[in-house]
């Protein structure tokens, strides 16, 4: 990771020295360095650079140049990764309007922009808007590209997410199973997109309460990724992390602990202490300690996770809210009800301020605060009601790729 980052920084310096700041290849090098910062977990550095790329392209190429549209799309993604949901949504809506005006409703980039806006709606908690747009995106892909085109499979994949968010669990499962079957048929069992589809279906099984099905599929995903990608690949670490969660769901606490400790050690070794995936692994190990009854270990680690998220991502980032939420749950299980109540009230206030009263995370925070209050009034410990953050579900690319040098 560091070698790639060093090389990207050197490439940019070389381009600026030899070609000047405004040469098209220099702008591409800027864009690629932003991608490297994102991959290294340096979210703010990536965002700052993408804002510069967009400003440079607007100045040099104009607002309507294809490369400017790509830069706007990439900046929307950075806003989303930084937890700036309204900024991401505003920019995604502009990108779609620009694509429809300049390229037409049926251009592939317009379809990508529509899909990305649907994802932004979902992240902002506008579930019905996401679902309506996702269904249109899939219908457009099937009409224009056919049922088996890779982008059609991606649109089906995204629509399954929207069905899940809307509580249409069986529709979501049916679509995810179809996506996996299609990718196995069209791409083969070992294609990266097939592995991602298998990984995603396992997540859906877990969400649907099909614990054993999720565990079985996650064991296969891990074996596939170790065989095809190696033990140290980021996707292999994600698979390890998710399998640890499935072991915990199944009550195999020692297996879950062993695996969660391995994942954290691997992330610290390969990605560094401050990478978002390392924070996620630390969070999941804290949850495993809590479920295993090792309350002091859980509390120590959960407090560290929250401090790390606040320091690296800011107080209002979604991952920081999750960390605050999980620490409140750990305080409740440990019998520290006043600490749990204070933190749960902060979580709810943060969610209402940042996400709105009706966002699913706000509803969850309100539900958990009510539980804490009832438990405090009864003078008992609060059962764990937090939903722990897990490794993110890898998404296939849905927008214009980063431009190569």
Considering only residues 197 and 381, tell me which one the structure prediction assigns the higher pLDDT.
Answer: 197
Q: How many CB atoms lie within 10 A of CB 291?
A: 18
What does the pLDDT average to over 177-196?
95
Q: What is the pLDDT of residues 34-55, one digit of tens each?
A: 999 888 888 899 999 999 999 9
Q: Residue 218 has what pLDDT?
A: 97
Residue 135 forms part of a structural domain: no
Q: Are 351 and 321 in contact (CB under 8 A)?
A: yes
248 plus 293 within the same structural domain: no
Q: Distances from the Cα of 243 to the Cαs of 223, 255, 286, in angstroms?
A: 11, 10, 16
Q: Among candidates 111, 39, 43, which has minimal Cα distance to 80?
A: 43
3-state SS track over the chain: CHHHHHHHHHHHHHHHHHHCCCCHHHHHHHHHHHHHHHHCCCHHHHHHHHHHHHHHHHHHHCCCCHHHHHHHHHHHHHHHHCCCHHHHHHHHHHHHHHHHHHHCCCCHHHHHHHHHHHHHHHHCCCHHHHHHHHHHHHHHHHHHHCCCCHHHHHHHHHHHHHHHHCCCHHHHHHHHHHHHHHHHHHHCCCCHHHHHHHHHHHHHHHHCCCHHHHHHHHHHHHHHHHHHHCCCCHHHHHHHHHHHHHHHHCCCHHHHHHHHHHHHHHHHHHHCCCCHHHHHHHHHHHHHHHHCCCHHHHHHHHHHHHHHHHHHHCCCCHHHHHHHHHHHHHHHHCCCHHHHHHHHHHHHHHHHHHHCCCCHHHHHHHHHHHHHHHHHHHCCCCCCCCCCCCCCCCCCCCCCCCCCC
Residue 181 forms part of a structural domain: no
Give the pTM: 0.82
Q: Are 31 and 53 in contact (CB under 8 A)?
A: yes
Q: At what angle do helices 276-291 and 295-313 cross, to 10 degrees?
A: 160
Residue 381 forms part of a structural domain: yes
Considering only residues 155 and 393, tell me which one the structure prediction assigns the higher pLDDT.
Answer: 155
Q: Residue 1 has what pLDDT?
A: 65
**Residue 392 pLDDT greater than 80, yes or no:** no
Our count of domains for the chain comes to: 3
Residue 101 forms part of a structural domain: no
Q: What is the pLDDT of residues 6-27, one digit of tens each?
A: 898 999 999 999 999 999 999 9
**Residue 239 pLDDT greater than 90, yes or no:** yes
Q: Residue 360 has what pLDDT?
A: 85
Last residue of a domain, one of 212, 243, 272: 272
Q: Distances from the Cα of 44 to the Cαs of 57, 181, 400, in angstroms?
A: 20, 38, 21
Residue ranges making up the domain that contains 224: 187-272
Residue 50: HSE in the Cβ half-sphere, 13 Å Cα cutoff? 29
333 plus 310 within the same structural domain: yes
Residue 300 forms part of a structural domain: yes
Percent of the chain with pLDDT over 70: 93
Last residue of a domain, one of 59, 82, 105: 82
Last residue of a domain, one of 19, 54, 82: 82
What does the pLDDT average to over 312-325?
91
Tokens encoding 208: 């649907």
In the structure, what pLDDT confidence band is assigned to residue 381 with cuts at 50, 70 and 90?
low
206 plus 290 within the same structural domain: no
Q: Are 51 and 77 in contact (CB under 8 A)?
A: no
Q: What is the pLDDT of residues 253-305, one digit of tens each?
A: 999 999 999 999 999 999 999 998 999 999 999 999 999 999 999 999 999 99
Residue 378 forms part of a structural domain: yes
18 plus 43 within the same structural domain: yes
Residue 110 forms part of a structural domain: no
Q: Residue 387 has what pLDDT?
A: 43
Q: Residue 124 has what pLDDT?
A: 87
Q: Please, which contacts does 209-218 make with residues 24 or more away whose CB atoms are closer than 8 Å?
A: 211/246, 211/249, 211/250, 212/250, 214/246, 214/249, 215/243, 215/246, 215/247, 215/249, 215/250, 218/242, 218/243, 218/246
What does the pLDDT average to over 81-95?
92
Q: What is the pLDDT of residues 340-370, one digit of tens each?
A: 999 999 999 999 998 888 888 899 999 999 9
d(CA 331, CA 52): 43
Residue 258 forms part of a structural domain: yes
Q: What is the CATH number for 223?
A: 1.25.40.10
Q: Are 156 and 132 in contact (CB under 8 A)?
A: no
218 plus 268 within the same structural domain: yes
268 plus 289 within the same structural domain: no
d(CA 363, CA 351): 9
């Amino acid at each position: 990771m560091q070698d790639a980052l060093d090389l990207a920084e050197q490439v940019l310096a070389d381009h600026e020295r030899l070609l000047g700041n405004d040469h098209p290849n220099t702008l591409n090098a800027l864009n690629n360095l932003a991608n490297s910062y994102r991959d290294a977990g340096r979210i703010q550095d990536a965002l700052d650079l993408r804002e510069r790329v967009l400003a440079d392209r607007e100045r040099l190429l104009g607002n309507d140049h294809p490369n400017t549209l790509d830069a706007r799309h990439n900046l929307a993604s950075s806003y989303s990764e930084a937890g700036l949901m309204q900024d991401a949504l505003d920019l995604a809506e502009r990108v779609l309007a620009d694509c429809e005006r300049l390229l037409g409703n049926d251009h592939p980039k317009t379809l990508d922009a529509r899909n990305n806006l649907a994802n932004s709606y979902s992240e902002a908690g506008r579930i019905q808007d996401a679902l309506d747009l996702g269904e249109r995106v899939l219908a457009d892909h099937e009409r224009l590209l056919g049922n088996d085109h890779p982008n059609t499979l991606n649109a089906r994949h995204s629509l399954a997410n929207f069905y899940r968010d809307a509580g249409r669990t069986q529709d979501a499962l049916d679509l995810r199973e179809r996506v996996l079957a299609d990718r196995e048929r069209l791409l083969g069992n070992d294609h990266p997109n097939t592995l991602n589809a298998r990984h995603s279906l396992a997540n859906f099984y877990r969400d649907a309460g099909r614990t054993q099905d999720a565990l079985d599929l996650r064991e296969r995903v891990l074996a596939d990724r170790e065989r095809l990608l190696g033990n140290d690949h980021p996707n292999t670490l994600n698979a390890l992390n998710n399998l640890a969660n499935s072991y915990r769901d199944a009550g195999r606490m020692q297996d879950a602990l062993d695996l969660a400790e391995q994942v954290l050690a691997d992330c610290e070794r390969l990605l560094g202490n401050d990478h978002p995936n390392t924070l996620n692994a630390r969070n999941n190990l804290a949850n495993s300690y809590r479920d295993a009854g090792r309350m002091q270990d859980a509390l120590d680690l959960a407090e560290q996770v929250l401090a790390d998220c606040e320091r690296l991502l800011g107080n209002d980032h979604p991952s920081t809210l999750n960390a605050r939420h999980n620490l409140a749950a750990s305080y409740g299980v440990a019998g520290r009800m006043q600490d749990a109540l204070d933190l749960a009230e902060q979580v709810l206030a943060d969610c209402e301020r940042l996400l709105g009263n009706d966002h699913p995370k706000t509803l969850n925070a309100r539900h958990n605060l009510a539980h804490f209050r009832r438990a405090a009034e009864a003078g008992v410990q609060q059962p764990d009601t937090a939903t722990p953050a897990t490794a993110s579900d890898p998404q296939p690319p849905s927008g214009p790729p980063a431009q190569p040098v």
